[in-house]
Structure 1
Amino acid sequence: MSAARARRAAVLLLSAALLTVPSACTRATSAVAPPAAPSPPAAQAGTGAAAAAPAAQPPAAQPPTEEAGAVGEPAAEDAAVAVLHDYLRQQALAVNARQSDPAALPAFTATLTPAARAWALPLLAANIGDEMPGPYPVGVLGSTRTPDRVELALCLQDRGWQVDRATGRPLNPPHRSRATAVVVREGGRWLVDDLTAAAEECPADQVREERF
């Protein structure tokens, strides 16, 4: 064999050998997965299912609830609301009797604190001459309460309830306003301490009429 032919044969043998070796670039890579979690240890004898159960969580805290009577129309036996209605009733009876002397009105003054008499008696005197078909219509919308003080949110008809004595017709168009009454407990009795109207109006269906 000539030298040139021998070199070609060696090159062919080397090329064949290289073709049989797998290439690092073409070798398939295996998928890599996270290690599996270890199996839980077997339960100890005698522990039962309760030992494997998760610890009980405390119940979620419930939002605070409002006390009964704190919002909305209070019960009929509510002493604070009762004395407010009594004040309005005695006021109307005094107007119809054309009487503003506090000495002649013990039932009227008995609904009021001394501070309330300072404004309630002049207000009564200013209404003498009219006729009241009943107490001023009022509705209790809600309240704020402490043991000895109640603040009542009201809708109050403050005009158009009095009528002319001769004709029976209302003296003014009806008007209703939001109002606030403060009732306090003094000496074991509930008494009206303040009653003020606001500028905001309220609808007729929020008051309750009572006629004599």
Structure 2
Amino acid sequence: MPRTVSAAATVSSVLLAAALSAGCTSSGSPKADAPSSTPATSATSSAAPTSTTPAPSSSSATSAAPPPLSPFEADPAVRALRLFGAEGARAITAGKVTTPAFDATMTPTLRPDAKLFTGDERGLRYPGPLPFTPVRVQVRSGTEREVRLCIVAQGFAVSPKTGKPVTKRAVQAIDATVVRQGGVWLVNTFEGASFSCAGVTIQEPTWSQS
């Protein structure tokens, strides 16, 4: 699925089933995730700005409430990426290259490349938003954050006829930047990365669970 292009910044196409074979910027091959109860986190350099602190789980949450997908779900950059993945999946399921809602999750820098995220998977169906687990959020400034993600790059989209995945499941490491523009957090870059996703559990919620 991920494919990289050159625009103002190098961008990885996350929602393309054929793109792993087309060439990512990642220096390593996609790795299947192994079961783990805790997301692998990467420590930031002492010279770098402090990473955000994962939001503590609420002790008042009811037993019926599903657990958060990661410790970083309260971070605005992660919320922006969740919306990006959900709207891209909806566009693909609707058979569209892009939609106004999907465009609205991206900066003007990234928006012209929306077709690279969706084009090759039109005709397939996403049973839920793009699955990913953030493993680090680093604050660069008050308006920019870097997020490391492990995504399900292949094997989540299904055939509408069979309801089964059309490719074998594969996981890809991603470096993303999210910026605040006009009071809204938007995805600005989405690149294949070389860090390991081994041991990172990626949950795959469906639309009814998201």
TM-score (norm 2): 0.62
Q: CA deviation at 1:81?
A: 0.8
Structure with the largest fraction of helix: 1
Matching residue of 1:193: 188
Matches within 5 A, 1:1-40: none
Over aligned residue pairs, what C-alpha RMSD do you find? 2.5
Q: Which runs of 4+ in 1 moved over 6 A?
A: none
1:125 CA displacement? 2.0
Opposite residue 84 of structure 1, the aligned amino acid is L
Match of 1:88 in 2: 85
Match of 1:211 among 198, 206, 210: 206
| 2:63 equivalent in structure 1 | none
SS at match of 1:206: coil
Name stretches of at least 5 consecutive residues in structure 1 with no aligned partner. 1-62
Contact 2:88–2:117 at 8 Å: present in 1 too? no
1:1-212 aligned at under 5 Å gives the runs: 67=50, 69-70=52-53, 73-100=70-97, 102=98, 105-145=99-139, 146-198=141-193, 202-203=197-198, 205-212=200-207
Alpha-carbon shift at residue 181 of structure 1 (Å)? 1.1
Range that drifts further, 174-183 or 72-81: 72-81
- Confirm or deny: 8 A CA contact 2:92 2:124 kept in the other structure: yes
Give the secondary-structure state (helix, strand or coil) at the position aligned to 1:155: strand
Corresponding residue pairs, total: 146
Answer whether contact 2:52 2:138 (CA < 8 A) is retained: no
Deviations 1:50-97 (A, max 9, x none): xxxxxxxxxxxxx99x85725795543321111100010001111111
TM-score, with normalisation over the residues of structure 1?
Answer: 0.61
Which fold has the larger relative contact order, with Cα–Cα distance below 8 Å and residues 6 or more apart in sequence? Answer: 2
- Percent identity reads 29
Summarize the Cα distance change of 1:203–1:209 in structure 2 as closer, same or farther, 3 Å threshold.
farther
> Which amino acid letter does the alignment assign opposite residue 188 of structure 1?
G
Superposed CA offset, 1:24-62 (max 9, x none): xxxxxxxxxxxxxxxxxxxxxxxxxxxxxxxxxxxxxxx
Deviation per CA, 1:109-150: give whole Å up to 9, x if none. 111001111222332122211111112210010121121111
